[in-house]
A and B are shown apart, each in its own frame.
Chain A
Amino acid sequence: MTGDYKFDTLSLHAGFTPDDRHGSAAVPIHQTTSYVFKNTEHAAALYNLEIGGHLYSRISNPTVAVLEQRVAALDEGIGAVATSSGMSALFVTVLALCSAGDHIVSSSQMYGANINLFQHTLSRYGITTTFVAPNKPEAFAEAIQENTKMVFGEVIGNPGLDIMDITRVGKIANDAGVPLVIDATFNTPYLLKPLKNGANIVIHSLTKWMGGHGVALGGIVVDGGNFDWGQNDRFPTLTESHFGFQGVNLYEEFGPAAFINRVRTEGMYNVGPCLSPTNAFHLIQGIETLGLRMDRHMKNTEKMLNFLSEHEAISWVKHPTLPNHPDYEVAKRLMPKGSGSVIACGLKGGRQAGQTFIESVQVASHLANVGDAKTLVIHPGSTTQSHLSPEAMKAAGLTDDMLRISVGLEDFDDLKSDFEQALSRASKARG
């Protein structure tokens, strides 16, 4: 750790220098597709990766760059590329590392769209995935093959809330010459910096806690620069000639930044899931208060856990900070400030009671998101994971009576009253 600014200061300032001409204190929204070149030499220099600057907003944009630099600073990465969503952040990561015939080892218990991407989309292009339980590090070791290009998982699994011991899995992956890629959406760098705890690449859905306001979609890939891509011959996309840019060898010419340069020079150039400058601006506003919000999320989550655990209408409560959670010790070691603000619980009366509860809440919102400043509730079995087969539901640790609660920042007394009345209605519904 360098003698750097601390977390809340970085959240407010990192990556932005007011310009000399206007001195705008807020990050300006550079709502432009393109940039006027100073002359032909300047244009060529940008295309030749020999000077910094912007060519076209699909590839980079000044407002988006501030967001990238801010998140890279918070995660202690060497660089970042922001994307239109968390899913596209994952996709451009895979694109930079994997080709047809390659293999991924992934956690089996994570966000349904992540599973779908690996299981159904990538497999059509010749990239296969072996799924293993996230809390069994030895299973990752057994699943790694000669053609494995990345190990992937979520620190806090969504929605099952299983914890991956990324320190152990990272060592297993790195010992096998493979990077650990982590979806850190649920923890944010405030609760855990995966790059300092075993991971090599981090992706976030910025739409969730990082933005916090629920007004803008966005994703990001952050490169730790802590993986030696030249240690073996597994990563030709990084260690052999690039298809463009005069055949640059990214590993030789950019060293630790080879991966993140590949993401920008392939994922953004050739696919183009770029983040809009306006969304970047909104996300920057959210990140300014990330530390404050996460503290309040953790406090309200603790209060909600106490409330639910004692309520007669609730049959079970799952959260990594509860001693009965199977990964309690790992969570406490990795995330001493808290293990996120999503709670899973079972409602007596199963699906019918669950539906009544969700339709009865008034302060909490029923929607398909997490990490908003407002409290959100959903019944995964009938919504977000409804496309999964019964077998996949079971493998993902889901049950029919399960509610997912994303605890927000409201005054807890109001949340408690709202949940009391909704649980009462749910109890009556089950008779």
Chain B
Amino acid sequence: MKINLNNEIIFASTGGRVFEPKMDPLWFIHGSGQSHLSFILQGRFFANRGWPVIAADMPSHGLSNGIALMSIEAMSDWQIALMDQLDVEKVQIVGHSQGGLIGLDMAHRYPNRVSQLSLVATALSIPVNAGLIEMAKNKEQSAIDAMIDWGHGPEGHNHDNTMPGQNHLNFGVQLMAANKVGALYADLKACVDYTNGNLAANEIKLPVQLILAQKDKMTPMKSGLKAAEALRTDNITIVENAGHMLPSEHPEDVNRALRSFFIKS
């Protein structure tokens, strides 16, 4: 659905169902250079089972207008503003990669607005290679190609797909290319500048889950395991043979883990 937020038209997917927040919505937050399309099969899965779902495109991403935000904190504030606009008091966050950092920051600085946190293929900090940031600034298509290459696991690279006939790598390239120029650079810069992850992990007190990819080259699994330790949670799912883009490459594993977490909690 289209929403007027801060005088900009932005887009949020509701998983194909009317958004009726009878309970804390599942609030999907996408990663660097991504959009709501990172969560196509999560959004539809949960919306069709009665969960209210929001997967918003942040400014300059996907179908949203506006200027790209330059810090994780600014992105958190934007998500809170969107919650306010939709009259949503609390959300259950699913954050992928950079979206995990945003979820962590929201849970830390707005503890009354987040009831649960699922962190997918993320860590407490995401140190981005300086060369990649430079590439994102000056040669964006090369940065997109590199991220799509590193971000996918064996299934993507073998051009196999649970969705018949579809191609992870080339879809990923077009998804990222559809964002406005500069969005990827802003995201990567925000990731590398975010240093409050350990502090947030120490202070937040809410149920946390981690879903990690065994073959993640972008936020390696060991970083996720360290985050789980700092967050004092043993709710960890490791998806075997998966790369960083596991919500699209291994949707059923991710959905199973999310469903188990949200139902139990």
Chain A interface residues (CB < 8 Å from chain B): 1-5, 10, 13-17, 44-45, 48-54, 60-62, 64-65, 68-70, 72-73, 76-82, 224-226, 228, 230, 245-246, 248-249, 252-257, 260, 264
Instruction: Give the docked Cα–Cα distance between A133 and B93 (Å).
Output: 56
> Which 5 pairs show the lowest CB-CB distances between chains A and B?
A52-B162, A68-B165, A225-B174, A60-B164, A50-B44
Chain B interface residues (CB < 8 Å from chain A): 11, 13, 16-17, 35, 37, 40-41, 43-45, 48, 62-63, 145-146, 148-149, 154-155, 157-167, 169-171, 173-175, 177-178, 251-252, 255
Contact A72 B159 (CB under 8 A): yes
A234 CB, nearest partner CB in chain B, Å: 17
Neighbouring B residues of A78 by C-beta, 8 Å: 166-167, 170-171, 174
Contact A14 B165 (CB under 8 A): no
Instruction: Give the docked Cα–Cα distance between A255 and B62 (Å).
Output: 8
Contact B162 A72 (CB under 8 A): no
A254 CB, nearest partner CB in chain B, Å: 6
A283 CB, nearest partner CB in chain B, Å: 14
Contact B149 A2 (CB under 8 A): yes
Neighbouring B residues of A16 by C-beta, 8 Å: 158, 160
Query: A260 contacts which of B62, B162, B166, B255 (Cβ < 8 Å)?
Result: B166
Contact B159 A10 (CB under 8 A): yes
Query: A15 contacts which of B145, B146, B160 (Cβ < 8 Å)?
Result: B160
Contact A5 B178 (CB under 8 A): no
Closest to A4 in B: B169
Query: B170 contacts which of A72, A246, A253 (Cβ < 8 Å)?
Result: A72
Contact B149 A3 (CB under 8 A): yes
Closest to B62 in A: A255
Neighbouring B residues of A79 by C-beta, 8 Å: 163, 165-167, 171
**Contact (A253, B171) CB under 8 Å given A15-B158, A52-B164:** no
Contact B40 A253 (CB under 8 A): yes
Contact B63 A252 (CB under 8 A): yes
Contact B169 A2 (CB under 8 A): yes
B49 CB, nearest partner CB in chain A, Å: 9
Neighbouring B residues of A51 by C-beta, 8 Å: 41, 45, 162, 251-252, 255
Contact B174 A65 (CB under 8 A): no
Instruction: Give the docked Cα–Cα distance between A77 and B170 (Å).
Output: 6
Instruction: Give the docked Cα–Cα distance between A62 and B165 (Å).
Output: 9
Provide the main secondary structure of the chain B interface.
helix
6 extra interface residue pairs, beta carbon distance < 8 Å, beyond A50-B48, A228-B178: A3-B149, A5-B157, A54-B164, A73-B167, A76-B170, A81-B165
Query: A49 contacts which of B44, B171, B177 (Cβ < 8 Å)?
Result: B44
Instruction: Give the docked Cα–Cα distance between A426 and B160 (Å).
Output: 52
Neighbouring A residues of B45 by C-beta, 8 Å: 45, 50-51
Neighbouring A residues of B158 by C-beta, 8 Å: 13-17
Closest to A255 in B: B37
Neighbouring B residues of A68 by C-beta, 8 Å: 164-165
Instruction: Give the docked Cα–Cα distance between A112 and B146 (Å).
Output: 44
Contact B160 A60 (CB under 8 A): no
Instruction: Give the docked Cα–Cα distance between A16 and B48 (Å).
Output: 30
B150 CB, nearest partner CB in chain A, Å: 8
Closest to B163 in A: A52
B251 CB, nearest partner CB in chain A, Å: 7
Instruction: Give the docked Cα–Cα distance between A60 and B159 (Å).
Output: 17
Closest to B141 in A: A1
B194 CB, nearest partner CB in chain A, Å: 27
Query: B145 contacts which of A2, A50, A64, A72 (Cβ < 8 Å)?
Result: A2
Instruction: Give the docked Cα–Cα distance between A428 and B211 (Å).
Output: 79
Neighbouring A residues of B145 by C-beta, 8 Å: 1-3
Query: B16 contacts which of A45, A225, A248 (Cβ < 8 Å)?
Result: A248
Most buried by A among B13, B146, B159, B173: B159
**Contact (A253, B166) CB under 8 Å given A15-B159, A16-B158, A69-B160:** no
Instruction: Give the docked Cα–Cα distance between A249 and B37 (Å).
Output: 13
Neighbouring B residues of A73 by C-beta, 8 Å: 159, 167, 170
**Contact (A254, B40) CB under 8 Å given A5-B157, A17-B155:** yes
Neighbouring B residues of A248 by C-beta, 8 Å: 16
Instruction: Give the docked Cα–Cα distance between A212 and B164 (Å).
Output: 24
**Contact (A72, B63) CB under 8 Å given A17-B158, A228-B178:** no
Query: B174 contacts which of A44, A246, A253, A256 (Cβ < 8 Å)?
Result: A256
Contact B178 A48 (CB under 8 A): no
